[in-house]
Structure 1
């Protein structure tokens, strides 16, 4: 069996046993440096990363194929990429960079298979008279229109 397919198979077997975890990214370099990025519905612990690493390393013969392996959790600075990652962040504020280079910030309200709904809060000029008025609106955003989505970090 091809080396990369074997790694993917071992990883998917591990994730099938751990339904709370899911794969965000799997990268192979030309020198067979493997990077696995995991996320979980309730976060990812160090033990989760160790378990995933062992599920791969203990089932591949290093004498047959030399490789390095890194298993890590998706950090706060990592963009959201799957509906499951968006779903876990419902109620949090997101900063979106759109494919048309515009930026949108809002609270994640709903997550679907093909779109998200953000609640936007902003001020706009009154139609009559001076001053501004507060506006709260829900906006549907399709995944293909999102270039990058980050959770806003507040201290």
Structure 2
């Protein structure tokens, strides 16, 4: 049996596919979260694009996704149920979930948790210097670690390369 989350994801993907040639072109699905049940159902959909997603694009997709959820081919996905729908971009503090999200964050500060060869978790805050590809696929990132605090001024760190499959979590950081 197909879960509600999978049905919602299918509607989102249908809305994204039908956006070719419109202001929604190039937008991709990052995640779908369903919280609660019945009248308390809250659906959170995160969308992004390689250049960042605008509020008018979120609004466009929110309307289209709601239409599909309420009347998908004559069979509503959420049959008469009340639900809250939130369509947005991954904001500051949201982890990067897809390899292509790293491209847009080149030059920005990231806090990365990764596992080393001994499977020990390490943490580094650094500026994303480069996204590395192998045969067209994003496979690794190069970070320049930064030290925070007053004593760190002028302290240059050597870049480190991290394979994506070793990264547990990468979160964009606010810069002051």
Range of TM-score over shorter length: 0.7 to 0.9
Q: How does 1:3-152 map to 2 (within 5 A)?
A: 4-16=5-17, 17=19, 18-29=24-35, 31=37, 32-59=41-68, 60-61=70-71, 64-68=79-83, 69-99=85-115, 100-111=120-131, 112=133, 113-120=138-145, 136-152=157-173
Shift of residue 153, structure 1, vs aligned partner: 1.3
TM-score, normalised via structure 1 length: 0.76
Larger proportion of helix: 2
Uncovered stretches (5+) of structure 2, i.e. residues with no partner: 148-153
Q: Report how far residue 78 of structure 1 moved.
A: 0.6
**2:30–2:47: 8 Å Cα contact kept in structure 1?**
yes
Q: Larger Cα Rg: Structure 1 or Structure 2?
A: 1
Instruction: Report the 3-state secondary structure (helix = DSSP H, G, I; strand = E; otherwise coil) of the residue aligned with 1:104.
Output: strand
Give the secondary-structure state (helix, strand or coil) at the position aligned to 2:111.
strand
Instruction: State the Cα RMSD in Å.
Output: 2.7
> Number of paired residues?
145
Contact 1:33 1:67 in 2 (8 A): no
Aligned mates of 1:121, 1:33 — CA distance in 2: 38
